[in-house]
Amino acid sequence: MVGDLKSTMRGPFCVFPNIVRKSDRCAFVPVLEPTVANQGNSVHDDQRPQMDKDIEEAELGPQSLDTLSPTNAGWDAILSASMPVDLESDDVVDIPMDECEYLDNPDSLSAAKGSTLMISSQSSHRPNFRHTATLPMDRISISLSNNPLVDLLMHHYIVNVSDLLLPVRHSRNPYRNIYAPAALEVASGLKPTSGVNVALYHSLLASSAFHLWHCNPGLLDFYQIGTEYNERAVHYLRSSISDTTVSATDYRSLLMTILSLVDNSIMSGGQTDSVVHVKGATQFRKSQDRRLSAGHNTQQLNEISAFFSLIESTTSLQSDPSPWLNEGHCFFHGELEPEYVAPLPGYCFEYQFGITPTIATAIQETCRLADHLTFYSNVKEPVPSGLLEACETLDQTLLSWTLEIETETYISSRDTELLSIFVHQANAWHRAALIYNSRRIHHRSREDLADEVAQVAQHMHAIEDVKVTSNADMASRGAPMTWPAFVASCDALSSKRDIWRHWWERVQCYHIANYSRQWEVVQKVWEARDLETIGKSADWIDILRDLNIQVFLL
């Protein structure tokens, strides 16, 4: 039990004070479950459950719920202004679904329970909507749903979580421009919406709840709410697939929903299965068989999915080495295996992940070549000359790379602080890619890589230093991408670990549960290295396999 909680938070979410209140009675907080209509898979406002009177009267900012309605004309204008224009919105191309095992296999997705969540007022963990909903920052002053819990979670997602998921603030933020408008249509009940968007709606509420929980782990109810909403999202995702084909528009909504479930894993610290959803998104994306001409939004989602798949492959516990088949192919034009399509397009990589397409492709190529090398090591056969040449070409690409050689950039040079954050993040990715390549392909010792590890630490700390000295509040809202930090800190020498301890403790201010999870794994790797039975030179991927630890490094 927790009494009055005094916030000791630092960083962009220190605005959360004590959001716990006590009462002498129970309040039932239903996890809002819109009813999907039989006709057109639509959701209508008059089918929504009524809220407990005590919760309905919770204060939600400067106006009371008595004067707010989900049919408010102002809210309709907000939705219209928020909806992005997508080039393929009118496409009706059918996409075969029979090749997508993720959506067809009931074991790959868990079913949700149709229960109502009860928050006992006897617990001091009951959320205080009054405190949380009046945050001193941008807020939505129009009630979304006449449900204070939903309003709170949607508000928190749009204002905080959507910025947090990008390392650099950008006008093309997909979480605010693509995800949120689709979910807001469900929350508002202004118009019929698809069952897929209902799944997305539940998923975004789950992500928001998980983050609120990690802002103050004593608020266990938010964790329970997040878990419930996540289960509902999975349930609606499966139930929305009733035919063997989907339209191009539904393809975009389905992929967006699956990717949002990966975000839930990031916010919950791996309590939802990120690997299942990453692989599911990849299977679903490939099931279109390149017959869809993607618009900007769909292309962005495809690239997010491709990058998630790449990150998952860098720490995969399952290795399936294969022989080198096409010796004549060079870097950027490797064999067209299903898992690897080079080069990655990278339309949104810079602002979405803080990485350039060249370095992303180099990491992808490292994974591919390392698997081929492992095959010849296992069968004890000579490595083909074409494979050795591909490794040399990759080395040259990484060693000669500078940010200045990138031909295009989507980061504005007018905002010097955001540009500085991006430059440090991109250089951290580059140095970490060198480390990853050196360890996986060349098996260089950690002692030889000490300078590279130190440079990654320098760049990752510099990102946070920019935010500390920034005069712009918005600059501090984006959270750093952790793959470079994880790769470098796992290979840090014992005498050089303090700088990484400081960094991992420093970024806990973002209250992303996956950061805590990754920091725990780094410490386990260090402990394993320090044991004589493991060996101080052991590869951290091998250590993760031995310990059966799976972690998603974003």
Rg for the chain (alpha carbons), in Å?
Answer: 24
Nearest by Cα to 193 from 79, 277, 97: 79
* For range 182-190, the mean pLDDT: 84
* φ, ψ of residue 127 in degrees (nearest 5): -60, 140
Q: Which of 438-442, 469-473, 533-537 has the highest mean pLDDT?
A: 438-442
Helix spans in 216-247 (H): 220-239
Give the pLDDT confidence score for residue 535 in this predicted structure: 58
Greater model confidence, 7 or 553: 553
Please check whether residue 26 is in contact with residue 121, taking contact to mean a CB–CB distance below 8 angstroms: yes
* Rounded-to-integer distance, Cα 268 and Cα 210, Å: 5
451: Cβ–Cβ under 8 A, 6 or more apart, which residues? none
Report how far apart, in Å, the C-alpha atoms of 346 and of each of 43, 300, 307 are.
36, 9, 9
Helix/strand/coil (H/E/C) assignment for every residue in 338-387: CCCCCCCCCCCHHHHHCCCHHHHHHHHHHHHHHHHHHHHHHHCCCCCHHH
> Does residue 15 contact residue 159 with C-beta atoms inside 8 Å?
no
H/E run at residue 27:
strand 27-28
Q: Whole-angstrom Cα distance, residue 460 to residue 480?
A: 8
Mean pLDDT of 1-29: 36
CA dist 531 and 158 (Å) reads 46
Q: pLDDT averaged over the chain?
A: 74
At 289 the pLDDT is 54
pLDDT tens profile 109-166: 543 333 333 333 223 333 333 333 333 334 444 566 678 899 999 999 999 999 999 9
Q: What is the mean pLDDT of residues 69-76?
A: 36
**DSSP-H helix ranges across 168-295:** 174, 180-188, 195-215, 220-239, 248-268, 274-287
Pick the most confident of 40-54, 211-225, 237-251: 211-225
- Residue 303: which residues within 8 A CB-CB, separation 6 or more? 344, 345, 346, 347, 348, 349, 352
DSSP reduced 3-state for 280: helix
Q: Is 500 within 8 Å of 485 (Cβ atoms)?
A: yes
Please give the pLDDT value at position 284: 86
Q: Identify the pLDDT of residue 514.
A: 95
Q: What is the pLDDT of residue 299?
A: 87
Determine the pLDDT at residue 59: 27
